[in-house]
Amino acid sequence: MSFDYSLDFQSIDFRKNPELYRVGKGEQGVLLVEPYKSEILPHWRFKTPEIARQSSEKIYQMFLEYLEQDDFVGADMARKFLQMGYTRSRRYANHKSGKKYKTNPQKETSIEAEAKARKDILPNEVDPVKAESAAIFKEKWMLAKKNERYCQLLAKHKAIHNT
């Protein structure tokens, strides 16, 4: 089951209601699911490799702490923040402005226009500093994604909640 964007994220405490959580694809919901967003977001930074290292280590430590508490939703949210650290650093490594497309495909009014906008990619401007930040986050993201306990909890969550 895909991430459910129809939920009232303003009022749901996913620590108290983990059954409502859907993993979805990639980073879906990373900035919506509370209280985890508020716990993890203050530590999420990637401006320089040193900042990325501190950030990724802190978020990975939080990931491990969530696992120790058998808190799958927290662990998955930490994993998503690590993944987002990689993808956003990579975006800035490739595009100094952080914008990949000439126009925002999500603001298009038709499927055809969105598809066309997704093909109109700005040229790459390689930033080796952001590329290093991305590599730092990718390493922690892969550790999280392949963590044996995380994989067990993920399988259990999917089996119980059909996600």
pLDDT tens track for 114-161 = 888 788 777 777 888 999 999 999 999 999 999 999 999 999 999 988
Instruction: Give the integer Cα–Cα distance in Å for 159 and 139.
Output: 28
What is the reported pLDDT for 161?
80
Residue 163 has pLDDT above 70, yes or no: no
Cα Rg of the chain, angstroms: 17
**What percentage of the chain reaches a pLDDT higher than 70?**
97
What is the reported pLDDT for 154?
95
The torsion angles phi and psi of 26, rounded to 5 degrees, stand at 55, -115
CB 147 within 8 A of CB 82: no
CB 59 within 8 A of CB 140: yes
Mean pLDDT value across residues 11-28: 94
Residue 97 pLDDT level (bands cut at 50, 70, 90): low
Output the pTM of the full model.
0.86
**What percentage of the chain reaches a pLDDT higher than 90?**
67
